[in-house]
Amino acid sequence: MYQNACGAAAASAGGCVETDKECHGLISKEPLVPTVEHDYSGFDIVKATQYGAFSRVKELIEGGHNVNERDAENVTLLHWAAINNRKEIMLYFIDKGSEVDAIGGELNATPLHWATRQGHLEAAVILMNSGADPDLRDAEGCSCIHLAAQFGHTALVAYFVARGVNPDCTDRAGMTPLMWAVWKICSLDPTRLLITLGASPNVTDQQGNTALHWAILARNTTAISTLILQGRASLNIPNHRGDTPLTMLQTHLGAMWMSPKVVDMVKEQTFASSTARNFLNKLLKDKRLRWWCMVGTPFMAFYAAGGILATDQIILIKIFLLVCLYIIIHYTGQLLFDDRLMGLLPLSIYLSTKMWFYFTWIIYIMPVVGIALTLFFLISSTLLWYCFLNSWLGDPGIVTTSQQLQFRTIIELAEKGPGGFEPSSFCSACLVRRPIRSKHCAVCNHCVARFDHHCPWVANCIGAKNHKHFIGFLAALILMCSEMLYGSYKYWQNEPSCNATSEEIWQKVVTIGRCNTWVAWVSINAFFHCIWVFMLLVCQLYQISCLGMTTNERMNKGRYAHFIMNAGKSPFTKGSFRNLIEFFECTCCGLHKPEVKDWLTSYDLERNIEHQPLLRHRDNYQYV
């Protein structure tokens, strides 16, 4: 029988696999369609139920067949209807008085157990709405949520918790759904889902093992990373044999399956638990100190590079010193900074470059250009800071929720059918109904409305609420860099030592570089910043005005059905002029009233394709 074979496989110590192929193959087999189409007249009640021959089932029941009669294996008709997802027949049986929580089969399982093993969300919804008890245990001591976790049926796990099932309930051996998920399933969900729903990673089973113990035993790298980095699982809980997750991971530090983030975490925890620590090591491992070092390193590196260029050494020695500087910074970064801190590097580079711009302007350029241009420089800098702070610290359009709203959303989508949990309409990380054009950012771990991209230079997502400020930030940064270049030009004009007698371009460049190498160094940075930021601004304005797309949509339009159905064109474009004025919400001196759309609450297209799946690939939501 289906459930016997799968129950044995689930209980076996097979470790983590991508999908439980053996069990899935057994439970997903359905009877073949009869060779004579629609000829069900010779079927008995069980076979008619299995094949979904509703007319034959109805004929036999109305002919006097008992709806609660069991077959030779002590299985009810509702069991067979549930495992084959025969929704119409299930509703008919229940209406005729079928026992919803009937125990049947060698595993003493209910119809809800059978539907759960198969992963039939619709059948589970029908049974739950008819009063089925998801907390009943089968002969192996498993409730329905344990089975859903074992077989990786994420939607069913979410639905059971939303309907009041405790995510930390234990089976006969003390195993929680989270333990089963990390032991049997190597994909991100349902592990991440259970943590989001409040499952504790530090509950122990009868052997003293936590979910992290089980993930390490299964060598489930995805689950280990998720439990430590998102679930904040403890590394120091010993099981009955005295093994902690930390000691278990320490024995596998050289293994290929260990992720770099987990290795860094283990090394840090190993140091924290060590008794032989000196003052220097304490400083090196101090999180606040390392944060300030990350922020300060670009400031010092910029100054050091400028200082090396300003020396009187020959060019080969300068190049050698710059290479040495790079090597020192590189290996110091490896020693001090983890991936989280390295994520701050682009932002730190931007801030350091801008601070040295200010220093150069005040010391070298302001005495030459005068108060008026300096005042203009400060005003444009104020605009830059305003746009930058709103891009950096402002809300990009995060789709917020509460646990009550999460549960309500899950129930509503489950009762709509399996399509309700498509990535286009539901985010399994945030457990929210996903607005159209939104996307889950793996860096920020949030769903962002009208997601454009995650920008490392402002360390934030760019979305519906801060996209305008990001465009302003780019424009103001170009203006500041242009002013720096103009100010440097005026400085070179007024500095006698910078006037080259030769008319050769290269000789002029060399003379300018020698008269004040620091100003030349800052000008080179301003020039390259101006070039790449200008290209980014042009690209952004082109996407907004001409395409009516975000960066994410332009790069991934082949994944979205609403772009495919429009031959690659955006269904959101209204022409270049209207696209721009509605993006910036311009009234054009009262001549135009822009249509302001709330992308946080917009879930459907307006062109009658809202019932199509908006994503072609179910896993695309994980990428930024």
Contact present, 600 and 449 (Cβ < 8 Å)? yes
510 pLDDT tier (thresholds 50, 70, 90):
low
24 pLDDT tier (thresholds 50, 70, 90):
very low
**Which of these ranges, 184-188, 509-513, 518-522, has the smallest mean pLDDT?**
509-513
Measure the CA–CA gap between 464 and 396, rounded to whole angstroms: 6
527 pLDDT tier (thresholds 50, 70, 90):
very high
Grouping H, G, I as helix, E, B as strand and the rest as coil, residue 132 is coil
455 has catalytic annotation: yes
536 pLDDT tier (thresholds 50, 70, 90):
very high
| Per-residue confidence (pLDDT) for residue 610, from 0 to 100 | 38
| Sequence-ordered strand ranges (E) for 287-428 | 426-427
SS3 content of the chain, % helix, strand, coil (to 5): 55, 5, 40
| Exposure b/e, 326-356, CB count within 10 A at least 16 = b | eeebeeebeebbbeebeebbebbbbbbbbeb
Phi, psi angle pair for 602, to nearest 5°: -100, 115
Percentage of the chain with pLDDT > 90?
53
- Which residue in the list 6, 186, 455, 530 is annotated as catalytic? 455
What's the burial of 549, exposed, middle or buried (CB within 10 Å: 0-12/13-18/19+)? Answer: buried
pLDDT tens digit sequence for 319-353: 899 899 989 888 877 777 767 777 888 999 999 99
Let me know the angle formed at the C-alpha of 469 by 468 and 471, rounded to the nearest 5 degrees: 65
pLDDT tens digit sequence for 135-169: 999 999 999 999 999 999 999 999 999 999 999 99
In this model, does residue 228 exceed pLDDT 80? yes
pLDDT mean over 420-424: 73
Measure the CA–CA gap between 544 and 537, rounded to whole angstroms: 11
**Which of these ranges, 27-31, 237-241, 252-256, 417-421, has the smallest mean pLDDT?**
27-31
pLDDT tens digit sequence for 359-403: 999 999 999 898 999 999 999 999 999 999 999 999 999 998 888
Measure the CA–CA gap between 490 and 366, rounded to whole angstroms: 10
pLDDT tens digit sequence for 91-122: 999 999 999 999 999 999 999 999 999 999 99
Task: Provide the whole-model pTM.
Answer: 0.78
pLDDT tens digit sequence for 448-463: 999 999 999 999 999 9
Measure the CA–CA gap between 594 and 545, rounded to whole angstroms: 14
| Per-residue confidence (pLDDT) for residue 10, from 0 to 100 | 38
